[in-house]
Amino acid sequence: MNPSDPKERLTRLVDLAKQQSLSGRRALAGEITDLLLDWPANYPMNMREPFEVLLERVVHGVDFRTRGALADRIASSNVPLTIVNALIFDAELDTRKVILARNASGDRNAAAVHVKAAALLAEVRAADASDLVRILSAHFGIPTDIAAQILADLSGFWLALLCKGDGLGRAVFSSLAILAIPDATTEDTFKRLAAFDDAPAEGAAGLLAFWRQQAAQSNSKAA
């Protein structure tokens, strides 16, 4: 292969992408990231998109440690925000803040429809634990896998970020934090309630808008 030829390089990387092993996917993600962060001068800029699309696909197939390491590398780069946002759950706190700052600088409409807090809390109170993901997804308009990750986080960070993204205050967050983990110890509950202050407001609306856009696109494809 001639590494100076972008078409040949893309072909080789696509061939690598067909490998099923985790080590192969890790290597592929690292190699594409290296390329995007140090784009060769002789490669035309319009060739970046196929490599970016390939990276966006492969990051979903690697382990969380690899995803976290990739987030550290590309958080503040010119790699598309769609790829960076896909890694935010596995990023360290400082990297999360960098990613959120990028979301804040975008021009996305934060939310066309705001959550009706009273209806949300009433449904959560009456629901079984197994139905909470669906309820959170439906009311906030986010993908179910995102809702599941938010509720699986016992620290409350992502739930606080979600509430701040929609402009919901501490009282709504606190109610959700308590209702979502009714069997938590008193100490765990207090820690989770404190997450509202720890979650940065900057970029929260932009990230929520991104998640809503993902859900809308998924619903459109399913229709």
Q: Which of 105, 134, 160 is the last residue of a domain?
A: 105
Q: Which residues contact 62 (CB under 8 A, 6 or more apart)?
A: 22, 25, 26, 29, 70
**Which whole number is the average pLDDT over 72-97?**
96
Cα-flanking dihedrals φ and ψ of residue 118, to 5°? Answer: -65, -45
Kindly state whether residues 157 and 132 are assigned to the same domain: yes
**Domain for residue 200, yes or no?**
yes
**Domain for residue 199, yes or no?**
yes
**Domain for residue 110, yes or no?**
no
Per the structure, the count of domains in the chain is: 2
Per-residue burial over 1-13, b if 16 or more Cβ lie within 10 Å, else e, is eeeeebeebbeeb
Q: Which structural domain range is residue 92 located in? A: 6-105
Q: Is 3 a residue whose pLDDT tops 70?
A: no
Q: Which of 105, 125, 140 is the last residue of a domain?
A: 105
Q: Is 218 a residue whose pLDDT tops 70?
A: yes
**Domain for residue 1, yes or no?**
no
Closest C-alpha to 124, from 189, 175, 190: 175
What amino acid occupies position 113? V
What is the reported pTM?
Answer: 0.88
**Domain for residue 111, yes or no?**
no
* pLDDT bucket at 109, cuts 50 / 70 / 90: low
**Domain for residue 32, yes or no?**
yes
Q: Is 16 a residue whose pLDDT tops 80?
A: no
Kindly state whether residues 90 and 159 are assigned to the same domain: no
* pLDDT bucket at 15, cuts 50 / 70 / 90: confident
Determine the straight-line distance between the first and last CA of the chain, rounded to whole angstroms.
43
Closest C-alpha to 154, from 131, 126, 182: 182
* pLDDT bucket at 17, cuts 50 / 70 / 90: confident
Q: Is 107 a residue whose pLDDT tops 60?
A: no
Q: Is 9 a residue whose pLDDT tops 60?
A: yes
How much is the pLDDT for 183? 73
* pLDDT bucket at 18, cuts 50 / 70 / 90: confident
CA atoms within a 13 Å half-sphere pointing along the CA-CB vector of 149: 14
* pLDDT bucket at 90, cuts 50 / 70 / 90: very high
Q: Which of 58, 79, 105 is the last residue of a domain?
A: 105
d(CA 197, CA 64): 26
Kindly state whether residues 88 and 123 are assigned to the same domain: no
DSSP state of 199: S
Q: Which residue has the higher pLDDT, 74 or 40?
A: 74
Please give the mean pLDDT across all residues of the chain. 89
**Domain for residue 112, yes or no?**
no
